[in-house]
Structure 1
Amino acid sequence: MSGIYLDDLDLRILGVLQADASVSNLELAAQVHASPPTCLRRVRRLKDVGVIQRQIAIIDQAKIGPTLIAIIEVSLDRQTTEDFAAFEAYICAEPAVTQCYRVSPGPDFVVVADVKDMPEYDELARRLFKASSNIRNVRTFFSTHRAKFEANAPVRAVIDKSQ
C-alpha cells in the first residue's frame, strides 16, 4: 500500500478536523498542542497531497424535510473494468446518490440514495436502472431508523514506499 507518511501530529490534526472542520487554526493548534503556523502548514500539506479531499457540513435531514434513505444493491450483466467504471461514472453523476461502493461477494455495487419519498424513489429507479442495458438485478432496502452516521474514518500512519 502506498501513501504519504503521517506522523502523530498529522493524525491528531485529522482527528480534530474530522470531528469539526470549522475549528479555527488557533483552536486546532490548541487542541493538538502545536503552534498555529505548524498547523497551517500541516493542513495545507494534507490538502495538497489529497489526504483531506474536502470539508463539508453534515446536516440533519429530518430538520429540513422528510427523507427516505434507499440502500440499493446493483448487479451488472457485464463485469469488465470498463463496465464498472462506466457504471460508477453514471451513478455518481446522480445528485440523489450520496454513496457508491463496489463490493464483493454478492452484488457488484451498493448505492445509497437520499430521496424525499417513494414516488421520488420510483422515478429515480426508473431513470437510473431501467434505462441501463447493463443492469442485471436491483434490490432496494429502505432505512427505517438511522442508529449511527459518521463521516470520520480511522486515521493511521502510512509510509510512502516510493520515497
Structure 2
Amino acid sequence: MDKNSIALDATDLELLQALQQDAGRSNQALAQALHLTPPTCLRRVKRLQSLGLIERQVAILNSERLAVALGHGLQAVVEVSLDRQDSAALLQFEIKAIAESAVQQCWRVSPGPDFILIVATQDMPAYLSLSQKLFTQDSNVRNVKTFFCVKRAKFTTDIPISR
C-alpha cells in the first residue's frame, strides 16, 4: 500500500459525512446517531483529524442575516488574469490575495483567468478599496472581471462522500 494512502471504512465515511452536516454536535449525540459508543466515536474522530481529513471546524455564518444585522453585505466572484504567469508571479499574487480577510476563497484555475476569488465586503466602498489594493496597484494584473452576487441559490461546504 502507498505510504500516502489512507484506509477508510464505512464508519469513517459516515463520520465524515455527519461532521460535514453538523460538527457542533456533542460526541455523545454523534456516537448515538452513528450507533457507536462515545469512546469509539471520539477515538475515530481524533484519528480522522490526525490524518488531516478534518482540516478544521468552523461556524458558518448566514451572510444574508448578518448583512441585515450589520446594514450591508456585498459578495462577488472575481476573475483575475495576470500579464506574467510564471510560478513566481502567480505565487506573488496568491500570497497578496490570501492575506486579505475579504477574500474568502482564492483558486488558481485553468484555462481562462489565472485566479477566481470569492470576496465578501461590507459595501461597495470597501470593495473599491480592496480592488485598488489587489488589482489597480499591481502592475502584473492585466484584467479583472467582477460578478456581484444578487442571489444565493445554493451554498454548501460539503464534499460528496461515497465509495
Q: TM-score, normalised by structure 2?
A: 0.90
Deviation, 1:63, is 2.1
After superposition, the C-alpha distances for 1:114-136 in whole angstroms (9 at most, x for unaligned) are 01111111111001111222211
Structure 1 runs (4+) deviating above 4 angstroms are: none
2:137 maps to 1:131: yes
In structure 2, runs of 5+ residues without a counterpart are: none
Q: What residue number does 1:20 align with?
A: 22
**C-alpha distance in 2 between matches for 1:105 and 1:12:** 35
Give the aligned CA root-mean-square deviation in angstroms: 1.6
| 1:143-154 correspondence to structure 2 within 5 Å | 143-154=149-160
Q: 2:52 aligns with which of 50, 53, 56?
A: 50
Contact kept, 8 Å, 1:6 with 1:156, in 2: the verdict is no
In the superposition, the TM-score normalised over structure 1's length comes to 0.90
- 1:94 corresponding residue in structure 2: 100
- Which structure 1 segments of 5+ residues have no match? 158-163
Structure 2 CA distance, aligned partners of 1:55 and 1:141? 29
Which SS does the other structure have where 2:92 is aligned?
helix
2-structure distance, mates of 1:82, 1:43? 38
Cα deviation code 1:97-127 (max 9, x no counterpart):
0011111111011001001111111111001
Q: Distance in 2 between matches of 1:81 and 1:89?
A: 12
* 1:41 corresponds to which of 39, 43, 65: 43
Q: Which has the higher contact order (CA 8 A, sep 6+)?
A: 1
